[in-house]
Structure 1
Amino acid sequence: MTRQPYPPASRDELVEDLHGTPVPDPYRWLEDPDDPAAKTWLAEEEALFAAEMGGLPGREAFKARIAELLRSGSIGAPVWRGERGFFMRRTPEQEHAVLYTVAPDGTERALLDPMALDPTGLTTLDSWQPDKEGRLLAYQISVGGDEESSLYLIDVVLGERIEGPIDRCRYSPVAWLPGGEAFYYVRRLPATEVPDGEEQFHRRVYLHRIGTSTEEDVLIFGDGMEKTNYYGVAVSRDGRWLQISASRGTAPRNDLWVADLVASSPESPELVVVQEDVDAQSAVHFGRDGRLYVFTDRDAPRGRICVTDPSTPQFEHWRDLIPQDPEAVLSDFAILDDLDRPVMLVGWTRHAISEISVHDLVTGERVGEVPTPGLGTIGGISERPEGGHEAWFGYTDNTTPPTIQRYDARTGETTLWASSPGAVEVPAVETEQVTYRSADGSEVHMLVISKPGAEGPRPTILYGYGGFGISMTPGYSASILSWVEAGGAYAIAQLRGGGEQGEEWHRAGMLANKQNVYDDLHAAAEHLIATGVTTTSRLAISGGSNGGLLVGAALTQRPDLYAAVVCSAPLLDMVRYELFGLGATWNVEYGSAEKPDEFAWLYAYSPYHRVREGVSYPATLFTVFQSDTRVHPLHAWKMCAALQHAQSSDRPILLRNETEVGHGARAVSKTVELAADQLTFLAHHTGLTS
């Protein structure tokens, strides 16, 4: 197949001196999507992508199979308030999941359907929170993938909006006071009150009373604090206790305060410090038994649960209830107290495989375990706010669409509460957990998914993320199953920077240690080759967001090791990333180019700056989303132009630039189209022909 010429892209002689280092930036003009030259270049890249992909075989087969596997639908765990339940479900034919409510008599009713709100499919339901009695519900929606949530209130029984929109509520928690008359929430300051370029920051905590204007909302917290702070806010079940947490951007640490709303008013809570200026993450839960439960990684990077009295919430009063486990990472807990012997269910991940243990609530003694369906991922444990003997949790693995399981502490049995509503024929696959050594000798785990009995080198996708303490755990994926069913292997590396081994594992892959993540990926590739799973000519890598940074660094550091790359919604210019989107909230993870020592880390691996002319780079597909307000697509635009200029081989460098979608949620049909393009590209360049 004859490759089309790349669209012309001028190279400016722009070089900045940063801390004594000359830093070229020849494609800075691509940072402005409204620049006529940028518009022309993007249009020509779109035509090139269509021409190149139009000649590749197998796309329709991948598209059909991915769509079929996604007809499983999905199901979410129930949330109980008063006599009502609330849960999310997507049926096979639906583009988005729908929020349902369950009446006291068991009758289900669709409460919020994104397609009913907007038949174009561009509106997403970002979050929702019923009040404590289940009569009102706060929900947040955004349009076109921009994640700029607006908050509304709905009467659950009538199904009618009663307030909204309240804008500037992106990532806002909602904490209701009893009676449904007021709630705490987080809202950004108006753009007119902040410096230019800082409109995404400057959050504050407010108290809103139903039926009043937001102009009358009471400012509770946040004035004079760090501009990139995120705030969490929650109110205890009985309405007595308020907690507020603050973290600088995505930092793995937070400050935490509590207030007694009986001793002080909701409008002016007297906040007491739980922890402040401590390098740890902690959260509190006010138990129905009057005790304060503290979930923390302070002095316990794999997590522990402590107890104290709410009147003495500080660290010196904490007492271990569930101590740190030497191997497993604590992920969640729930309390079941309608029993002769109340218990705590504790969720763990052991090398990213989930399990739940049962403990005496008073002593912490382990008294049993919760049966789970298999070796997979548990998605949160919930109980009724008023207490009880039941708990619910989500479960999935590589061949199981999401299900909701119900555990009965009286019988010790786990039963299926709800399954994904679509019946699909899932292909048989085998998942093997392997370990390998990275460059510095660290042991890293990896999941390798293949057809049963598969032997010999085969086209393989190696996937990773390696950042922000996020764990790569087993889960149902139509893309993975389609690839493996077609004869490929799919490997998921649990790299440093993730949370699979706790907070120490995360920190071993952030800031000055970021190169460890890339070394872990290269070592994973070498292990797959050495063990006969694949060869260099059949090995692809794939990643998105921080994982896009991962594969961008990998293809520039070891272009000889990989045949093909899919780089989605990536960060790639690590010198200027803080200037766009939510970049300023991530300098606690990556570092800041404004500081000389941190600039040195960033510049050393910044993929855009590591592109060199005359190198044979892997076939590379950038997939970006024009409404992405987290990671601006300019990263991929600039990197694509740089690679097209530098490429010495005939392996293509392509850009798939999608409009009216963003970084996160999207309609199912758009997910299918994207996944089909990605797999078709990787199949062609790794030799997958089945």
Structure 2
Amino acid sequence: MKFRTIMQSAAVVFLASCANQKMNSSHKYPETKKVSHTDTYFGAQVADPYRWLEDDRAEDTNDWVQREFKFTQDYLSKIGFREQIRTQLKDLWNYEKISAPFKEGDFTYFYKNDGLQAQSVLYRTDRSGKTEVFLDPNKFSEKGTTSLAGVSFNKKGNLVAYSISEGGSDWNKIIIMNALTKEIIDETIVDVKFSGASWLGDEGFFYSSYDKPKGSELSAQTDTHKVYFHKLGTKQSADKMIIGGESFKRRYMGVGVSDDGRFQILSASEATNGNELYIKDPKKHKDFVAVQKGYDYNTDFIDSKGDWIYALTDRNAPNMRLVKFHIDRPDVWTDVIPETENVLSVSTGAGYIFARYMKDAVTSVQQLDYDGKLIRTVELPGIGTAAGFGGKDDAAEVYYSFTNYITPGTIYKFNPKTGVSEVYQKPKVKFDPANYVSEQVFYTSKDGTKIPMMINYRKGTKLDGKNPTILYSYGGFNISLQPAFSVVNAVWMDNGGIYAVPNIRGGGEYGKKWHDAGTKFQKKNVFDDFIAAGEYLQQKGYTSPEYMALSGRSNGGLLVGAVMTMRPDLAKVTFPGVGVLDMLRYNKFTAGAGWSYDYGTAEDSKEMFEYLKSYSPVHNVRKGVCYPSTMIITSDHDDRVVPAHSFKFGAELQEKQSCSNPVLVRIEVNAGHGAGRSTDQVIAENTDLLSFALYEMGIRNIKK
């Protein structure tokens, strides 16, 4: 969800708010007004005294933010080592980052960031070896806050449609260009959301969007997706709606085109889990033909070979399987890669299928032909996360990345004929993995479930319970947290910190069953798993409550908000980031209703309402409780999870906090839910996060 920029003059806005200063005289927060607003759910009345903070266009909301700015700036200015942390982050961040290359037409493209550039630049190299800048997002806006959200070439590589996001918004624009001359050749397509551009030859491309909301563009509900076709040389106003609207109402939809240009594939869904799949061969079909109806399963198009379509599905396979079917018999599926005990994902390139398996959150890879015959198991550089292995069918090699928590991401070139990998690009980071430990443990949650957790720290760390520790997780939407290197975590560990990541339920680490075990009426399993991870770290001497910080973003922000209200004694510091914090109203904003598979809604039933209310962070802040030192993180252009969640939670905490632990709400200006932020924005946020954590743990000096 999205919130308008409310302090144009400030690069970053911090705020804290309290309606009742008598609760805590040590922090004189500016007052936050309360209103008499009550909602009724199944006969139960629920007060919402900070409902006015949902209005992102109101002057009193604007005024509230500005009045809070000085208080929090003053608080953070007390941290003597804050600039030292910033310098450490910038110093370690300042290395060249290069992506895997990809070919389009006669050019090879790649992304590169020289080190501290706001956005990575898209370069290309021609057949003679000459390299030039193709697109430089740093020139899209003055402060680097307009990002390149996607790039789509036609099959010949002579045309390109690229998407831009301004201030991190999910509302994008598509710019159409002659890729050979870099000349813009058509009008800009505006008001595009949750969509790429899929080319149909040289004629034009498919894209998806919603009608512009009548209320706030940043927070009003968007629930009816439409697929359009833009024909080159015509106005957007003349674009034909292919499918969608009231006649085919779905919350999310997109049409893609197979690599051979023959098939059009429609995926449609009502939530973030489960989809319908349709396919169309224009030479045979007037309309799309159903492959899968209903929303009980996830099935995605992977590739086509002649009349055969390949799809990845969890239908009758919670850990996924790859199937194929004939275009004339889309109801008859044959296994190409059967389900195994480990979760499967696939990619294709160089005429092969690459099966990536996840076991206990780490990757193994197999190379197969299109009949599912095993060619080889790919030898990876170590234990960690491998991604990539995609490319054109006629490519001579494919590329992949490898990383873990103490290994900076390295790009490898893989020869599919010989099975040999070689380093393509190794980053020159001032970080020596030999000085650090990354270990996996398994601990027991409240109901006896075994949960894996990766614990990372500098060698020689004493397990005396006094180590600053960040416990980070997500726990939802089938998203898996696999090991990956982070400059932020490296700086944290270099300052004596421990970084721990449990793979809790709600994620996809063990397939659909693991995901479902953390949804709806089982959502509290997620919180129990996270709490048990913290208790394990404390029992084993890694840390103690006074030295622990809880961190998570988005659904992970909900995780932190729920746990800190359930167990305020678990940690000293909490960071609920861009979090879903009002569980009774999350579905009222932008595309929030699409999260109902994981959460359910307060309108579903009395039982669902009562369950949601029992853990909703906004509704479970209690007077007389000492809550951890808290920095709530949000962004003014977040139109995924609107800032109102964070504002209301912050107001509740600041009113009812019973001790001197501060409650801050950090608002990033010209930023969205996370993607597309400039390097400066990312460094600034993490400077404050690491500094606040250490300071609140009682640390006043860090190493030089």
Give, as a single letter, the amino acid of the residue that structure 2 aligns with 1:161.
Answer: I
Structure-2 separation of matches of 1:319 and 1:228: 29
Say if 2:221 and 2:591, in contact at 8 Å, map to a contact too.
no
Question: Aligned equivalents of 1:347 and 1:319: distance in 2?
Answer: 20
When structure 1 is superposed on structure 2, of 3-12 and 564-573 the one drifting more is: 3-12
Which residues of 2 match residues 70-149 of structure 1 at below 5 A?
70-149=93-172
Give deviations 1:469-502, integer Å, cap 9, x for gaps. Answer: 1111111211111111100101011111111111
Among candidates 264, 268, 282, match of residue 242 of structure 1: 264
Task: Give the structure 2 partner of residue 402 of structure 1.
Answer: 409
Shift of 1:76: 2.7
The correspondence of residues 213-224 of structure 1 with structure 2, limited to 5 A, is 213-224=235-246
Q: Distance in 2 between matches of 1:352 and 1:633?
A: 31
CA distance in 2, matches of 1:166, 1:514: 40
Residue 563 of structure 1 corresponds to 572
The answer as to 2:368 corresponding to 1:375 is: no
Q: Which amino acid aligns with 1:667?
A: S
Q: Which residue of 1 aligns with 2:11?
A: none
Instruction: Measure how far apart 1:227 and its partner are.
Output: 5.1
Quote the offset at 1:16 in angstroms.
Answer: 2.7
CA RMSD across the alignment: 2.3
2:489 maps to what in 1? 480
Residues 617-636 of structure 1 mapped to structure 2, 5 A cutoff = 617-636=627-646
Write the deviation string for residues 13-68 of structure 1: whole angstroms up to 9, x where unpaired.
43332112221212222222444443333223221111111111321121111112
Which one of the candidate residues 387, 392, 401 is aligned to 1:384?
Answer: 392
Choose which of 655, 659, 663 in structure 1 pairs with 2:665: 655
- Matching of residues 542-557 of structure 1 within 5 Å: 542-557=551-566
Counterpart CA distance in 2 for 1:216 and 1:643 is 50
Distance, in Å, in 2 between the alignment partners of 1:581 and 1:191 is 9
* Equivalent residue, structure 2, for 1:204: 226
- Name the CA distance, whole Å, in 2 between partners of 1:53 and 1:304: 51
Which of 1 and 2 has higher RCO (CA within 8 Å, sep 6+)?
2
For the residues of structure 2 that align with 1:515 and 1:578, how far apart are their CA atoms?
Answer: 19
Are positions 1:615 and 2:625 aligned together?
yes
Match for 2:54 among 31, 35, 52? 31
Contact 1:174 1:183 in 2 (8 A): yes
How far is the alpha carbon of 1:571 from its aligned partner? Answer: 1.3
Tell me if the contact between 2:269 and 2:295 (Cα under 8 Å) persists in the aligned partners.
Answer: no
Match of 1:525 among 534, 538, 546: 534
Partner residue of 2:649 out of 639, 664, 670: 639
Match of 2:595 among 570, 583, 586: 586
- Residue in 1 aligned with 2:10? none
- CA contact 2:406–2:437 (8 Å) conserved in 1: no
Shift of 1:654: 1.3
In terms of mean alpha carbon deviation, does 500-509 or 14-23 score higher? 14-23
- Say if 2:322 is the partner of 1:272: no
Q: For 2:71 and 2:219, how far apart are their aligned partners in 1?
A: 34
* 1:97 Cα offset (Å): 0.8
Q: Which residue of 1 aligns with 2:21?
A: none
Paired AA for residue 458 in structure 2? K
Give, in whole Å, the separation in 1 of the partners of 2:514 and 2:247: 29
More deviation, 209-218/235-244: 209-218
TM-superposition CA deviations, 1:108-156 (whole Å, max 9, x none): 2211111122232121111111111111111111212223100111111
> Percent same amino acid among aligned pairs?
34
Alpha carbons of structure 1 residues 285 and 262: separation in structure 2 relative to 1, 3 Å:
farther
| Mapped partners of 1:196, 1:548: distance in 2 | 20
- 1:185–1:545 distance in 2 versus 1, CA, 3 Å: same
Alignment partner of 1:515 is 2:524: yes
Q: What is the CA-CA distance between 1:381 and the residue it aligns to?
A: 2.2
8 A Cα contact 1:360 1:367, kept in partner: yes
Residue 431 in structure 1 maps to residue 453 in structure 2 = no
Q: Which moved more, 1:68-77 or 1:43-52?
A: 68-77
Question: What is the rounded CA distance, in whole Å, between the counterparts of 2:403 and 2:92 in structure 1?
Answer: 14
- SS of 2:180 mapped into structure 1: coil
Q: Which stretch has the larger CA shift, 98-107 or 547-556?
A: 98-107
CA offset digits 1:485-520 (Å, max 9, x no partner): 100101011111111111111111111211111011
For residues 635-680 of structure 1, what are the alpha-carbon distances to aligned partners after superposition, in whole Å with 9 as ceiling and x for unaligned?
Answer: 1111111111111111111122222211122110111110000011
Distance 2:59 2:684 in 1: 28
Please say if 1:285 is aligned against 2:302: yes
Distance 2:560 2:249 in 1: 31
Which digits, 9 at most, give the CA deviation of each residue in 1:263-312, with x for residues without a partner?
A: 35xxxx43111110151111123334653212111111111111222222
Deviation at residue 192 of structure 1 after TM alignment? 6.8
Asked whether the 8 Å contact 1:304–1:322 carries over to 2, the reply is yes
- 1:232 maps to which of 254, 259, 268: 254
Aligned letter for 2:569?
A: D
8 Å Cα contact 1:461-1:489 kept in structure 2: yes
SS in 1 for 2:613: helix
Q: What does 1:392-471 align with in structure 2 at a 5 Å threshold?
A: 392-420=399-427, 423-426=429-432, 428-456=435-463, 457=465, 458-471=467-480
What aligned pairs does 1:306-317 form with structure 2 within 5 A after superposition?
A: 306-314=323-331, 317=332
Partner-residue secondary structure (3-state), 2:30: coil
Q: What residue in structure 2 maps to residue 349 of structure 1? A: 358
- Give the whole-Å Cα distance in 1 for the aligned partners of 2:697 and 2:656: 22
Alignment match, 1:65: 88
CA distance in 2, matches of 1:547, 1:234: 31
> After the TM superposition, which of the residue ranges 7-16 and 162-171 deviates more from structure 2?
7-16
Could you tell me which runs of 5 or more consecutive residues in structure 1 were left unpaired when the two chains were aligned: 338-342
Task: Report the secondary structure of 1:287's partner residue.
Answer: strand
User: How far apart in 1 are the matches of 2:300 and 2:619?
Assistant: 40
SS at match of 2:296: coil
In structure 2, what is the Cα distance between the partners aligned to 1:662 and 1:358? Answer: 38
Report the CA distance shift for 1:38/1:278 in structure 2 as closer, same or farther (over 3 A).
closer
1:325 to 322, 327, 340: 340
Aligned partner of 1:323: which letter?
A: P
Cα deviation for residue 429 of structure 1 reads 1.9
Amino acid at match of 1:384: K
**Structure 2: 5+ residue runs without aligned partners?**
1-24
- CA 1:118–1:202: 2 relative to 1, 3 Å: same
Distance in 2 between residues matched to 1:630 and 1:192, nearest whole Å: 17
Q: Deviations along 1:371-410, whole A, 9 cap, x unmatched? A: 222222223321224x244222222222333332221121
Classify the secondary structure of the residue corresponding to 2:69: helix
Alignment of 1:33-48 (within 5 A): 33-48=56-71
Tell me which residue corresponds to 1:340.
none
Partner of 2:319: 302
- Structure 1 pair 209/39, CA: closer, same or farther in 2 (3 Å)? closer
Q: How high is the TM-score relative to the length of structure 2? A: 0.91
Q: What is the alpha-carbon distance in structure 2 between the residues aligned to residue 377 and residue 45 of structure 1?
A: 42
Matched, 1:603 2:613: yes
1:175 matched residue in structure 2: 198
